[in-house]
Amino acid sequence: MTNLPKIYAPQEIEGKWYQFWLKNDYFHAAATSEKQAYAIVIPPPNITGSLHIGHALDNTLQDCLIRWRRMQGYNTLWMPGTDHAGIVTELIMERKLAEEGTSRIELGREKFTERMWQWKAESAGYIVSQLQQLGCSCDWERERFTLDEGLSKAVRTAFVKLYNQGLIYRDTYMVNWCPECNTAISNLEVEPIEIDGNFYHIRYPVKDSDVVLEIATTRPETMLGDTAVAVHPDDERYQHVIGKTARLPLCDREIPIIADAYVDREFGTGALKVTPAHDPNDYEIGLRHELEQCTIFTQDGHISEAAPEKYVGLSRWDCRKQVVEDLQNLDHLVKIVPHRHAVGHHDRCGAIVEPAISLQWFMNVRPLAQRAIEATQKGEVRFIPERETDRFYHWMEIIEPWPISRQRWWGHQLPIWYCNACDAVTAAMETPHQCKCGASDFRQDEDVLDTWFSSGLWPFSTMGWPEETEELKTFYPTSVLVSGWDILFFWVSRMIMLGLGCMDKVPFQTVYLHGLVADEKGQKMSKSKGNTIDPLETIDTYGTDAFRFALANVSTPIPYVSLSEPQIESGRRFANKIWNAARFILMNLEKHPIPAEVDAIETEQETLEITWIRSRLSHTIKTTTDALENFRFYEATQTLYAFLWHEFCDWYLEFTKQRIAQDDPAALWVATDVLEQTMRLLHPLMPFLTEEIWQQLPLNRTQDDKSVTIAPWPEPTGENSTAETTMATLTEVIESIRSIRGELNVPIGASVAVHIQSPNSEVRERLETYLSQYLPAFTRVADITIAESLQKPPASAEAVIGELAIYIPLADVIDLEAEQARLSKRHQQAVKDVTAAQKTLDNPNFVERAPEKVVAQKRAQLERLLTEQDKLARSLAMLTESGSENGD
Ligand SMILES: [Zn+2]
Ligand SMILES: [Zn+2]
């Protein structure tokens, strides 16, 4: 009957079961159903290639929730799909094109877009296959792509709707500009990175005066675009120069000296150069004083014609060098002071971002942000962990207009048309036929939308919006959104705002924001640090189930969760343990098949261990369900691990092994039942292994259950505290005896006598009833004495559990003197090792100079040695004591 191979080989079972699930359509959600709906939309992976460790964690947790709810009987929908990912994907393609010796511009928009679609076809398929390898039970029939026809219609509909509400508008404003990507980007896409820079102190002479203003700047090249010098209106040092003009070095221009309260008197010399075209604060000052905006950079980060001829065409960096050199030569440079400061980089391409004045499309997100705050306050959205709620409020309160147009090609082209005759602007779903001026000749805006615009519509665009579909009625708002906390602002908040704006309802009831995966030292994983764990390699080595178990096991509610190989190995060992337990049970079932009347097992012979294991199973079901309800995945894994490994394998199977061998199959049948239910409990975490084992177990076949995937989630049946207390006493006593035997080197074959003293009559009664029955399964015992009080026998080892004492006379089972000598020698060695390790760690040279990892290893070694030393000292004391008593 048993078809489980001797060795657990995940590679051989995982693909097979995934195909089985697909074939049986288990992942497909009905558009309408009597069942309660439970929906999650996947955070659509970018079509940029392979999934990373963050995806693995994110999708494991989602699959776990979906599988669990499916078993609970919900109509579950896990909506899958991919994101076109705008600039990121374009950059990948541009690198490929460069390798081919061509470029985006050379190819032209149409050909370039064609190439992008080819890339999408390959890449999306690869991503889907990786999600399938991870076991994700997505509804693949509904797979979507942010640029597909339906979603594009949703994007245009949303745009036109928001435009008509006055929330989308065009404006000339200062935006963040990426000179590498040649496009405007939003604040969120600018990543501040600390770099070593300088303060350059420059002299600005005041015209018709001896006064020279000293001004400090980190960007001397921008002085070519200065159009004023500003001082604080109340700054006594500068009262006499306000209203005069300064001569701008290198430029042969005169610029006004103005007073503006924005200037910080304490900062530097209290005088500020004002470059309205290249600094957001200067831009505001410029507007207040109607200053000229002198744009000295081209869109690709070179010096424009607005600058003196000498600098035109230089790169930003060459220009800085040249300006500094020229200032020095002309004696306008006072000093250069090193200064470390944060500089904005484009998060996608890494280029340093330029503030630039530009005509762009914006979305006024304030009204929607206000609605998002109100909806959250009313409890329509709940954030887990709760601390994220405050981050969300804060963000919604300080939110600024969102620049949504990008000067790129890969994305949704703005549904905006300009009349070629009168330049009138029309927002529409299709090219308009006629302008109000009578002309019928239009051009569409060339820009595409920020990629987050379409992903912001994801929870309802994927379900067919703007049509009023059954899917929307059934599944919107969705149940949970699972994501890393790092995209709360990028994505989650935009979905909430756009959900309110388009659907008048928040897109999900709960947002679960998990930590980001870090290495064992808590460092964020990144390719450049070389500390990443590749999901596919890990799956190859350890199997998907072990990997998923490890991921769920580390996902505690902290910002960075540490994952390391040993944790995945431990997942693998757990899978092996389950496999072996299942094989043991299946092999025995060949000899003792379960009769048709399965229920008989419960009534006939309810022995202590059967009552106990059923009670523990019930507890496990309750705790696991509770953990999943509250997104405590780590608690679910720990509960199941402890139950299966320690309670079920270490105790229950050990207790019953001999009885099973002696043709007493009730314990075996119960074991089968417990294993079957546990496989169901474990299924959301380890889908493949549990399916393989569940399929072999001869239980629960009366219904139409063809797969554990659709089997019902187990229900707790109640706990039995008497059985639990009794078993707790028994296991503690047995463990103490075993550990004394181990520590004192009692030969395995030697029988020992056990004397137990307990003042508690209930405890004594329990031990008298059960100890002799259970102890032989674990250790050889010749004789058990249990008494309210007894004399400690001569030459005996001792263990104390609360008010209970255990004595084991040793004189007849070991050579006391030889054992004493052996332990004493080992103890001396341990003391020496501890001293040596301590000495190394006391040496400041070692601690300061050795690599962090080596120091950490040494510390761990010392910990281990100290524990060992303690243990040996205890054992030795026990022997010395018994030895001396022996001599009495
Ligand atoms: Zn860029
Ligand atoms: Zn017109």
- Give per-residue pLDDT as tens, 383-419: 999 999 999 999 999 999 999 999 999 999 999 999 9
Of 355, 387, 418, which closes a domain?
355
Range in 61-65, 616-620, 767-771 the model is least confident about = 767-771
Query: Of 366, 423, 415, 421, whose CA–CA distance to 395 is shortest?
Result: 366
Task: Answer yes or no: do 612 and 693 share one domain.
Answer: yes
Q: Is the pLDDT reported for residue 567 higher than 50?
A: yes
Give me the pLDDT at residue 550, please. Answer: 96
Task: Answer yes or no: do 714 and 762 share one domain.
Answer: no
- Angle formed at CA 379 by CA 374 and CA 381, multiple of 5 degrees: 85
Task: Answer yes or no: do 525 and 620 share one domain.
Answer: no
Range in 21-25, 616-620, 868-872 the model is least confident about = 868-872
Task: Answer yes or no: do 293 and 324 share one domain.
Answer: yes
Q: Does residue 406 form part of some domain? A: no
Give me the pLDDT at residue 388, please. Answer: 94
Asked if 392 and 488 touch (Cβ cutoff 8 Å), the reply is yes
Q: Does residue 595 form part of some domain? A: yes
With cut-offs at 50, 70 and 90, classify the pLDDT of residue 881.
Answer: low
Task: Answer yes or no: do 93 and 116 share one domain.
Answer: yes
Q: Is the pLDDT reported for residue 886 higher than 50?
A: no
How many independent structural domains does the chain possess?
Answer: 5
Give me the pLDDT at residue 623, please. Answer: 97
Tell me how far the alpha carbon of residue 596 is from its chain's centroid.
Answer: 47
Q: Is the pLDDT reported for residue 887 higher than 50?
A: no
Q: Is the pLDDT reported for residue 635 higher than 90?
A: yes
> What separation in Å is there between the alpha carbon of 430 and the centre of ligand 2?
16
> What separation in Å is there between the alpha carbon of 438 and the centre of ligand 2?
6
- When pLDDT is averaged across residues 433-455 and rounded to a whole number, the result is 94
Other Cβ atoms within 10 Å of 63 Cβ, number: 25
Q: Is the pLDDT reported for residue 153 higher than 60?
A: yes
Give me the pLDDT at residue 399, please. Answer: 93
Instruction: Give dist(CA 70, CA 684) in Å, integer.
Output: 10
- When pLDDT is averaged across residues 156-164 and rounded to a whole number, the result is 97
Q: Is the pLDDT reported for residue 506 higher than 60?
A: yes
Give me the pLDDT at residue 604, please. Answer: 53
Q: Does residue 14 form part of some domain? A: yes
Of 809, 832, 864, which closes a domain?
809
Instruction: Give dist(CA 887, CA 103) in Å, integer.
Output: 94
Q: Is the pLDDT reported for residue 597 higher than 70?
A: no
> What separation in Å is there between the alpha carbon of 422 and the centre of ligand 2?
4
Q: Does residue 306 form part of some domain? A: yes
- When pLDDT is averaged across residues 503-509 and rounded to a whole number, the result is 96
Instruction: Give dist(CA 820, CA 884) in Å, integer.
Output: 12
Task: Answer yes or no: do 599 and 657 share one domain.
Answer: yes
Q: Show the beta-strand stretches assigned E in 29-167.
A: 37-41, 75-79, 81-82, 144-145
> What separation in Å is there between the alpha carbon of 734 and the centre of ligand 2?
92
Q: Does residue 441 form part of some domain? A: no
Give me the pLDDT at residue 477, please. Answer: 96
> What separation in Å is there between the alpha carbon of 454 and the centre of ligand 2?
30
Task: Answer yes or no: do 39 and 52 share one domain.
Answer: yes
Of 336, 355, 374, which closes a domain?
355
Report pLDDT digits (tens) over 658-680.
777 777 788 888 899 999 999 99
With cut-offs at 50, 70 and 90, classify the pLDDT of residue 816.
Answer: confident
Give me the pLDDT at residue 885, please. Answer: 46
> What separation in Å is there between the alpha carbon of 164 and the centre of ligand 2?
19
- When pLDDT is averaged across residues 7-24 and rounded to a whole number, the result is 93
Q: Which residues contact 885 (CB under 8 A, 6 or more apart)?
A: 792, 794, 795, 796
Tell me how far the alpha carbon of residue 595 is from its chain's centroid.
Answer: 47
Q: For residue 834, what is the domain's CATH number?
A: 1.10.287.380
> What separation in Å is there between the alpha carbon of 630 and the centre of ligand 2?
58
Q: For residue 635, what is the domain's CATH number?
A: 1.10.730.10
Per-residue b or e along 290-320, where b marks 16 or more CB atoms closer than 10 Å to that residue's CB? ebebbbbbbbebbbbebbeeebbebebeebb
Q: For residue 20, what is the domain's CATH number?
A: 3.40.50.620
> What separation in Å is there between the alpha carbon of 427 and the centre of ligand 2?
13
> What separation in Å is there between the alpha carbon of 159 and the centre of ligand 2?
21
What percentage of residues in the chain have a pLDDT greater than 90? 68
- Angle formed at CA 451 by CA 446 and CA 453, multiple of 5 degrees: 95
Q: What is the 3-state secondary structure (H, E, C) of 244-297?
A: CEEEECCCCEEEEEEECCCCCCCCCCCEEEECCCCCHHHHHHHHHHCCCCCCCE
Instruction: Give dist(CA 41, CA 47) in Å, integer.
Output: 17
Q: Which residues contact 69 (CB under 8 A, 6 or more apart)?
A: 38, 76, 479
Ligand nearest to the CA of 300: 1
Per-residue b or e along 657-669, where b marks 16 or more CB atoms closer than 10 Å to that residue's CB? eebbeeeebbbbb
Give me the pLDDT at residue 491, please. Answer: 94
> What separation in Å is there between the alpha carbon of 433 and the centre of ligand 2?
11
Report pLDDT digits (tens) over 693-738.
999 988 655 555 789 999 999 999 999 999 999 999 999 999 999 8
Task: Answer yes or no: do 484 and 610 share one domain.
Answer: no
Q: Does residue 432 form part of some domain? A: no
Q: What element of type H or E holds 807?
A: strand 804-809
Q: Does residue 174 form part of some domain? A: no
Return the SS3 of 442.
strand
Task: Answer yes or no: do 135 and 70 share one domain.
Answer: yes
Ligand nearest to the CA of 419: 2
> What separation in Å is there between the alpha carbon of 310 and the centre of ligand 1?
28
- When pLDDT is averaged across residues 447-475 and rounded to a whole number, the result is 96
Other Cβ atoms within 10 Å of 827 Cβ, number: 18
Report pLDDT digits (tens) over 48-86.
878 889 999 999 999 999 999 999 999 999 999 999 998
- When pLDDT is averaged across residues 185-197 and rounded to a whole number, the result is 91
By the CB criterion, residues less than 5 angstroms from ion ligand 1 are 178, 180-181, 346, 349, 351
Task: Answer yes or no: do 578 and 646 share one domain.
Answer: yes
Instruction: Give dist(CA 756, CA 769) in Å, integer.
Output: 14
Instruction: Give dist(CA 104, CA 181) in Å, integer.
Output: 11
Task: Answer yes or no: do 794 and 729 share one domain.
Answer: yes
Instruction: Give dist(CA 43, CA 484) in Å, integer.
Output: 10
Report pLDDT digits (tens) over 98-133.
999 999 999 999 999 999 999 999 888 899 999 999
Instruction: Give dist(CA 503, CA 82) in Å, integer.
Output: 22
> What separation in Å is there between the alpha carbon of 419 and the centre of ligand 2?
4
Q: For residue 787, what is the domain's CATH number?
A: 3.30.2320.20
Q: Is the pLDDT reported for residue 375 higher than 90?
A: yes
Q: Is the pLDDT reported for residue 528 higher than 80?
A: no
User: What is the chain's mean pLDDT, rounded?
Assistant: 91
Task: Answer yes or no: do 767 and 878 share one domain.
Answer: no
Q: Does residue 607 form part of some domain? A: yes
Q: For residue 305, what is the domain's CATH number?
A: 3.90.740.10
Asked if 612 and 27 touch (Cβ cutoff 8 Å), the reply is no
- When pLDDT is averaged across residues 194-209 and rounded to a whole number, the result is 92
Give me the pLDDT at residue 844, please. Answer: 86
| Domain that includes residue 763, residue range | 724-809
